[in-house]
């Protein structure tokens, strides 16, 4: 067992060995520009198109509805800002939630500075948006609804299907940031009823530096960059062939191993929670509703413990993240935990533990032992 044990898969995942293997020929040999007409270029164009089909298959859309980007942040910018720019003549109102990643919230803030009006919907104690609140927030000038599929910090899964049917009835474009859900739970764009969906490569065992945006046929998006017309002109710039090939393979592997991976991440997460509860149950407060949560994610507070002290105390053995930021001795609670109205003590004691497809029983048992020992020492 290699230490430290990595239990922060919502932050990023390692590159899958099958993905790395697929990328190597494009690092070592196939360096042609996909726009070149000779075979060295054409084969790279074919590789990009193969990857597009692999991504499309995972989320059940047509390959031509996939645009490759550099990351989820870029996909969110393209979806939200691009849609707002294309439709500003129809209206300037956007609906989002209080628990979005900054890659959505900051785009909304920017648009607000450009004359758009943003409604931030509140959430319940588990971080869930009520579809009725979405319906009630819709106005004549609403052009876009953007609500994430699953939350990165607490794992809460949003009622995307219900929101999708509301959006469809009202003819409003619906975007979801699915950075955390793709590969972990089903992300069929037709079942979800979304028009735009964000994918992050590095949360899915592809490398960092590659993402994708699903754009349903007919959805208007104004490109944010202007250039030589690659990716239908929506995202110009010479293609990142190496990483695109990696993302394609990662999606193929995610689809092939979906059931097995989903079972493993959930069994590991549940083993971890059960182990902690059986040893220090009176100190464990689970923040998420596990019935409606990503199968790999556990947001948990340990009574009378500083999450920062715990995470740093165990960091040679186990890697986890916290629900607060600590700068110069001051603790700031994450906006997600604030939106869930968690009291300060619980929020400051909250850690996020997220398992991965290769997490083993031995790793989990070791993590339980390390966390419990640390808690005993820190209380
Ligand atoms: N959206 C969600 C839900 C995320 O969890 C993240 C990363 O943590 C992002 C967007 C941004 O991803 P990236 O930094 O790869 O652009």
- The 3-state DSSP composition of the chain as helix, strand, coil percent (nearest 5) reads 45, 20, 35
| pTM value surpassing 0.85 | yes
At 246 the pLDDT is 98
Q: Which CATH number fits domain 17-256: 3.50.50.60, 3.30.2130.10, 1.20.120.1750, 3.40.640.10?
A: 3.40.640.10
Ligand 1 centre from 212 Cα, in Å? 12
pLDDT exceeds cutoff 90 at 329: no
pLDDT band at 353 (very low <50, low <70, confident <90, very high): very high
Counting other chains too, the contacts that 337-344 makes at CB distance below 8 Å and 24 or more residues apart are: 337/153, 337/154, 337/287, 339/97, 339/98, 339/99, 339/122, 339/123, 339/127, 340/99, 340/123, 340/124, 340/125, 340/126, 340/127, 340/154, 340/287, 341/125, 342/287, 342/301
At 166 the pLDDT is 98
At 179 the pLDDT is 98
Residue intervals of the chain classified under CATH 3.90.1150.10 are 5-13+258-378
At 102 the pLDDT is 96
**Over residues 319-343, mean pLDDT:** 88
At 172 the pLDDT is 98
Residue intervals of the chain classified under CATH 3.40.640.10 are 17-256
Residue with tokens 């960091």: 315
Ligand 1 centre from 203 Cα, in Å? 8
User: What is the torsion angle, in degrees rounded to the nearest 10, for the CA atoms of residue 17, residue 101, residue 290 and residue 135?
Assistant: -130
d(CA 66, CA 238): 16
The best mutation among 108, 147, 153, 200 to test binding of ligand 1, ranked by most ligand atoms within 8 Å of the C-beta, falls on: 200
- Which atom number of ligand 1 is nearest to the Cα of residue 12? 8
Is 326 among the catalytic positions? yes
pLDDT exceeds cutoff 90 at 258: yes
At 331 the pLDDT is 81
* Mean confidence (pLDDT) of the chain: 97
d(CA 126, CA 132): 17
Return the sign of the alpha-carbon dihedral for residues 366, 3, 359, 285.
positive
User: In the 8-state DSSP scheme, what is residue 207?
Assistant: P
Residue 126 corresponds to which tokens in the numbers above?
A: 């588990």
C-alpha closest to that of 90 among 163, 140, 164, 165: 140
Which architecture does CATH list for 5-13+258-378?
Alpha-Beta Complex (3.90)
Length of the chain: 379
**Over residues 137-145, mean pLDDT:** 98
What are the tens digits of pLDDT across the range 18-53? 999 999 999 999 999 999 999 999 999 999 999 999
Residue 167 corresponds to which tokens in the numbers above?
A: 């959006």
Lowest-pLDDT range of 4-18, 247-261, 329-343 = 329-343
- Which atom number of ligand 1 is nearest to the Cα of residue 103? 10
pLDDT band at 115 (very low <50, low <70, confident <90, very high): very high
The best mutation among 103, 127, 158, 294 to test binding of ligand 1, ranked by most ligand atoms within 8 Å of the C-beta, falls on: 103
d(CA 349, CA 302): 6
Name residues contacting ligand 1 (CB within 6 A): 71-73, 101, 103, 148, 152, 177, 179-180, 200, 202
At 374 the pLDDT is 98
């Amino acid at each position: 067992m290699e230490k430290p044990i990595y239990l922060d898969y919502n932050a990023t995942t390692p590159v899958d060995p099958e993905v790395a293997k697929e990328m190597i020929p494009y690092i070592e040999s196939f360096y042609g520009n996909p726009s070149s007409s000779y075979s060295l270029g054409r084969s790279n164009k074919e590789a990009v198109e193969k990857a597009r089909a692999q991504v499309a298959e995972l989320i059940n859309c047509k390959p031509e509805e996939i645009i490759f980007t550099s990351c989820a942040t870029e996909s969110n910018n393209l979806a939200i800002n691009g849609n707002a720019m294309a439709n500003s003549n129809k209206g300037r109102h956007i609906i989002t939630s209080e628990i979005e990643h900054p890659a959505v919230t900051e785009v909304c803030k920017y648009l607000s500075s450009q004359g758009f009006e943003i409604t931030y919907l509140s959430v319940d104690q588990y971080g869930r948006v009520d579809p009725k609140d979405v319906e009630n927030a819709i106005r004549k000038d609403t052009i876009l609804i953007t609500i994430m599929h699953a939350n990165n910090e607490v794992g809460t899964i949003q009622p995307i299907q219900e929101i999708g049917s509301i959006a469809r009835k009202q003819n409003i474009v619906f975007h979801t940031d699915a950075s955390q859900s793709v590969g972990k739970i089903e992300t069929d764009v037709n079942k979800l009823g979304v028009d735009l969906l964000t994918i992050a490569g590095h949360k899915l065992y592809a490398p960092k530096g590659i993402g994708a945006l699903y754009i349903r046929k007919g959805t208007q998006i104004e490109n944010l960059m202007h250039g030589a017309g690659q990716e239908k002109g929506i995202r110009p710039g010479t293609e990142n062939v190496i990483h695109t090939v990696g993302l394609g393979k990662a999606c193929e592997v995610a689809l092939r191993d979906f059931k097995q991976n989903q079972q493993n991440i959930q069994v590991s997460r549940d083993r971890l929670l059960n182990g902690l509860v059986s040893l220090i149950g009176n100190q464990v407060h689970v923040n998420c509703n596990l019935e409606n949560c990503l199968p790999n994610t556990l947001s948990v507070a340990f009574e009378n413990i500083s999450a920062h002290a715990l995470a740093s105390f165990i960091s040679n053995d186990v890697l986890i993240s916290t629900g607060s930021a600590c700068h110069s001795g001051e603790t700031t609670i994450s906006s997600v935990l604030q939106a869930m109205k968690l009291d300060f003590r619980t929020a400051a004691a909250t850690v996020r533990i997220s398992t991965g497809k290769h997490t083993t029983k031995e790793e989990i048992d070791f993590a339980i032992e390390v966390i419990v020992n640390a808690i005993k020492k820190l209380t």
